[in-house]
Amino acid sequence: MKNSGTRWGVGIALILFVVIFLPLLAVLLNAFLPGIFFGEIRFQGLGLLGEIFNRPLWRQSLMNSLWLGVGTALLGTIFGACLAMVRARWNYATGRLLDAGVWLLLIMPSFMLAQGWILFAGADGIASRSLGIEWVTHAVFQPTGLMFIMALSKFPLAYLTVLASAEWNVTQYGQAARLNGARPWTVWRTVELPLSVPSIVAGATLVFIDTVGDFGLPAALSTVYRFPTLTYSIYSAIYQSPVRFDMAGVLAFYLVIILGLAMCVLMISLRKSRFDFLNSRAKKTIKIKPRKTYLLNLITIWFLTISIGIPVGSSVCVSLMKKMGNGFASQNFTFEHYVSLFSTSLPDHTRLNFLDGMIHSLSIAAIAAVVSMIIGFIVAYVLTFTQFPMKGGLQLFSIVSLAVPGIVMGIGYIFVWNQRWLEYINLHLYGTPALLVIAVIAGAIPYAVRVQLGSFGAISSSVLNAAAVQGAGTLERMAHIVLPLTRRSLLLAVLAAFGTSVFDLALASMLQPANYVLMPLVIDQAFEFGKYGYATAATILSGSILLAIIIFIQIAGEAVFRWNDRRLQKSVAIRPADNHRRTYGGSQYETNS
């Protein structure tokens, strides 16, 4: 088992190194040796890195990213932590609605939410033209307003982190404080809040990382408001004439450094925090019904209306309007934008082909979901059941793409795979859908690994050891023992990877093959050209299709699982002596798989 674990570990580590770590390494190397990937090796020292403080655009992009990241982390953590603490303690009617809204925001691409806010708060948007609220435009399109919008879309990361830490109840500490005369506010401030600090710091770090690496919001805002960030400046450097790979490399270097420092802050804070407050007296938190339930329901509905209702509702309204400026008049409503999605008769539809974009995006996401699930399965197996000596490095490779923005991964793939010598060995993948598929797989692997690790930890290694003693190989142990026991986590891994891959605007923008239509680019280009009705109709319909596919796959998968369970039960009733008994090398072992 030790030898087989090493072989599998080395093999999967090499795959992760090529698809995840090598592109990141290429970005960092290009910052010191610009042109090294294009046949020009010229070391310019550290002078090019210092140019970010001398060039106004570079400096402003850096400051905007830091300002937006810190402010969003602060606001988003306040929103998420407060809601999580309320949700963990009290049982109220709209609690489940809040959970559903959090997951919806988590999987919804930021550029779609940003477009909804632009349609609502723009100078000619719904707020000013239809509702007469003219102050909204100035309030939203300024740094503090953008920070507030980002916090409304990123707070689910802090919410889920803090909510998970509040699962266990350790009221004995609070009761001891009360016996010593502490009031409820003092108990919360001096006992409960300090115990939640690790989860709050973790949530704030995740919000910061996701905000700084976000590409969707700057891409959507570029049509109405100038707010350059590091991610959008990297994109502009690649798609300007002449192409500035040196500029993109330097900006990507600083972006990676910022995110790396954020991860270091997270690790240091977690190491300095106390985790051993959970003991044998800890028990599951039991939610109680609050006295003023109506107040919590009103706050939840109001918060969800602002965070989801405004951007999504604005997109729905605009998709049904002939002209956005004509307001909510009955004669202004139409379905022509939805009909135009399936029409190819207009000249401008040569670049905005909804059907081709949806088919391509769904196909790429499906391939990425299956492949990332398989890779995640192997990674989780090696980390859980083998004695592979480099587990730390393997775990790092499996999560690094979660912290590295898609725009950085995209430029890294350009550096690595846009090489002339690769043509001689038939591996010149740049400009082909295959490279986009590999990049999407790299982005989906962390979700697949994280989802499966939990279920793997619940399996006793003694079962696998017994099978190995009886001659079962690694593939046989995976197929006949681990796979049946972790089938539901595999389904969730596929759905998570699939749902997060369809609308990846950053990778699609960086690695789009020529004449190859992708759904996020269809929506983004339509919005950039001012075709708001087409863009919103494509957003609503494609999102609905994706949601329907995910629900169908989940229902079908659960139905297959139930059918297989009934079949096994019948098999047990007919042949109880042969239940789950397999033969390897002339001997048998038993398992409850």
* Per-position pLDDT tens, the chain of length 593: 555 667 888 888 898 888 888 888 888 787 777 667 666 666 665 666 777 788 888 888 889 999 999 999 999 999 998 898 888 888 888 888 998 888 888 778 888 888 999 999 888 888 888 888 888 888 888 889 999 999 999 998 888 878 877 665 556 666 677 677 777 667 666 766 677 777 788 888 888 988 988 888 888 887 788 888 888 888 887 777 666 777 777 888 888 888 888 877 777 766 655 544 444 455 555 677 777 788 889 999 999 999 999 999 999 999 998 887 777 778 888 899 898 888 765 545 445 688 889 999 999 999 999 999 999 888 888 888 888 888 777 877 777 776 677 888 888 888 888 887 888 888 878 888 999 999 999 888 887 887 787 677 767 778 888 888 888 787 888 888 888 888 888 888 888 889 888 988 888 888 888 888 899 999 988 888 888 899 999 999 998 999 899 889 988 988 888 888 788 777 666 655 444 444 444 334 444 43
Question: For strand 581-584 and strand 587-590, is the pairing parallel, antiparallel, or unpaired?
Answer: antiparallel
- Angle in degrees, CA 543, 313, 209, rounded to 5: 65
Domains along the chain?
A: 1-45+352-543 (1.10.3720.10), 53-335 (1.10.3720.10)
Check: CB of residue 229 under 8 Å from CB of residue 61. yes
Residue 546, CA distances (Å) to 210, 365, 373, 480, 540 in order? 23, 11, 19, 32, 10
C-alpha–C-alpha distance, residues 407 and 507, integer Å: 6
- Is the alpha carbon torsion for 225, 226, 230, 234 positive or negative? positive
What's the distance, Cα to Cα, between the start and end of the chain in Å? 20
Q: What is the 3-state secondary structure (H, E, C) of 448-460?
A: HHHHHHHHHCCCC
Closest CA to 506 of 103, 231, 161: 231
Tokens for 465, please give them. Answer: 């050891």
Helix %, strand %, coil % for the chain, to 5? 75, 5, 25
The closest alpha carbon to 500, from 437, 444, 538, belongs to 444
pTM: 0.79
Give the residue carrying structure tokens 């609605």: 97
Contact 71, 147 (CB under 8 A): yes
CA distances 393 to 374, 445, 453, 476, Å, are 19, 15, 16, 26
CA 413 to chain centre: 19
Q: Which residues contact 335 (CB under 8 A, 6 or more apart)?
A: 320
Neighbours of 79 (CB within 10 A): 21
